[in-house]
Structures are given as structure tokens and as C-alpha cells.
């Protein structure tokens, strides 16, 4: 389920405070600057740095 547009506008990466974008394929929010994926669980974005997944590692798994 896509994240609410208004919520997406106010959310920021907790690590760098930069912009994030929704990725429907991975069902999460991505910070391109930090190369992190914040998963969405039960329609709630998990915006914890320790819970984020590194995009580099996810791409290696493919």
C-alpha cells in the first residue's frame, strides 16, 4: 500500500535528515544519500536507523 503523500512530505531520513522517497517494489522508504531502505510494516514506516537495510546489501542478494 502506498504511503500517504502528506506523510511522505514531512518525513525525513533520521540519519542525514535528507529527503526520502517511496519505493513500491521494496515496500519501503529510501534515502538515496545514505543508501538506506526503511521498511513499512503494517502500514507504518519503521524510521529507525538500526532497523534500516543497506541498499548495497540488498542489491548484492539479487
d(CA 45, CA 52): 10
Write the CATH number of the domain with boundaries 5-61.
Answer: 2.20.25.10
By the 8 A CB rule, do 49 and 26 touch? no
Q: C-alpha cell of 62?
A: 539479487
Taking the CB of residue 3, how many other CB atoms lie within 10 A of it? Answer: 19
Q: What is the pLDDT of residue 61?
A: 75
Q: What is the pLDDT of residue 53?
A: 96
pLDDT (tens digit per residue) in 2-61: 778 898 899 999 999 999 999 999 999 999 999 999 999 998 899 999 999 999 988 777
Q: What is the pLDDT of residue 59?
A: 78
What are the residue ranges spanned by the domains of the chain?
A: 5-61
Q: What is the pLDDT of residue 47?
A: 96
Confidence band, pLDDT 50/70/90 cuts, at residue 62: low
Amino acid at each position: 500500500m502506498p504511503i500517504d503523500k502528506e506523510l511522505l512530505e514531512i518525513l525525513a531520513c533520521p540519519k542525514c535528515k535528507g529527503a526520502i522517497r517511496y519505493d513500491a517494489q521494496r515496500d519501503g522508504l529510501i534515502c538515496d544519500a545514505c543508501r538506506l531502505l526503511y521498511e513499512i510494516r503494517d502500514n507504518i514506516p519503521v524510521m529507525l536507523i538500526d532497523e534500516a537495510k543497506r541498499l548495497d546489501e540488498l542489491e548484492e542478494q539479487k
